[in-house]
Amino acid sequence: MTKRKVIKLGGSVWEQLDARYFEEWKAWVETGNELLIVHGGGPLLSSYCEQEGIKPVFRNGVRVTTDGVLLGARRILAGEVQSGIVQQLNQAGIPAVGMSGLDGASVHGKTIKGLGAVGQITHIHPRLFTVLSTNGYVPVVTSLVTGEQGVLNSNGDACAIAVAKAWSVDRFELLTDVEGVKVNGDYQSEITSAAIEAAIASGEIYGGMIPKVEAMMQATQHGIPEVVIRSGKNALATGTQIKEELHECTTTHLSTY
């Protein structure tokens, strides 16, 4: 039976990616399963903006996307970063195709007031993902999306989760720079959302780890069967699977797809 998997790959993680992931992904596809990769590239976009003299502006931790930033996102995320990922996947024997949410109007968003061309995902049309994957290709997607009046830049994690939900995946993986979720001094093989929330409240989970685990909890709330955070630097580490308690409701939705 064919299985579907979405991987969210951060831009900084890609630069340190364990090459054994290529073998893992190739085996997944060659056994008849389907794979889609959503990638970021924030550090390179920040470098581009610095080189171009574009002063970064953040509101509530979100980068304001001006016309200059949006141009950079199109050049860096949908250009330099994506072409590099696609090239390396193809060299590893994984037939990859680069695309964004603009292609086939696959991912739609609405403008978030006060943030420029930043888009909140509203709905997904997954047909193009299916056409590519059922013909043996791996879509490599960046989070530029179709807005009501033009291109919008969306949060990569939110885009990946929305795609995973709409595409009805069996597994969602976040590849990051840590081996999983650490509680009581140890990385956990499994952890519930309730335990994560308690660890955040106690300060055991802090800083940049908070948005990562919050994104993973959101994925479980959307009913994705397997949600795992893994180290991009170590393909042998199994990571941490995020689970809901059996009595918890999993009917939260991202809007209409």
Q: Which residues are CB-neighbours of 239 under 8 A, at least 6 positions away?
A: 173, 179, 180, 228, 229, 230, 231
pLDDT at 255: 41
pTM of this structure: 0.91
**pLDDT band for position 256 (cuts 50, 70, 90):** very low
Amino acid at 252: T
DSSP class of residue 114?
T
Q: Furthest-apart CA pair in the chain: how many Å?
A: 52
In the numeric block, which tokens belong to residue 131? 């056409």
Phi, psi dihedral angles at 226 (to 5 degrees): -120, 125
Q: CA torsion sign, 77 to 219 to 197 to 121?
A: positive
On the CB side of 116, CA atoms within 13 Å amount to: 16
pLDDT tens for 67-94 read 999 999 999 999 999 999 999 999 999 9
Give pLDDT, residue 246: 45
pLDDT for 163 equals 96
State the Cα–Cα distance between residues 145 and 150, nearest whole angstrom: 9
CB 117, CB 65: distance < 8 Å: yes
206-245 in b/e form (b: 16+ CB < 10 A) is eeebeebbbbbbbbbbbebebbbbbbbbebeeebbbbbbe
Of 176, 146, 150, 151, the closest CA to residue 162 belongs to 146
Q: How many residues does the chain have?
A: 257
**Contact assessment for residue 177 and residue 233, using Cβ atoms and an 8 Å cutoff:** yes
Q: What is the mean pLDDT of residues 210-215?
A: 89
Categorize the per-residue pLDDT at 24 as very low, low, confident or very high, splitting at 50, 70 and 90: very high
Q: What is the model's pLDDT at position 250?
A: 40
Q: Does the pLDDT value for residue 248 go beyond 60?
A: no
Strand partners, 116: 65
Q: What is the mean pLDDT of residues 20-27?
A: 97
Say how many C-beta atoms besides its own lie within 10 A of residue 77's C-beta: 24
Q: Is the pLDDT of residue 249 over 50?
A: no
On whether the CB atoms of residues 243 and 213 are closer than 8 A, the answer is no
pLDDT of residue 251: 38
pLDDT tens by residue, 105-148? 999 999 999 999 999 999 999 999 999 999 999 999 999 999 99
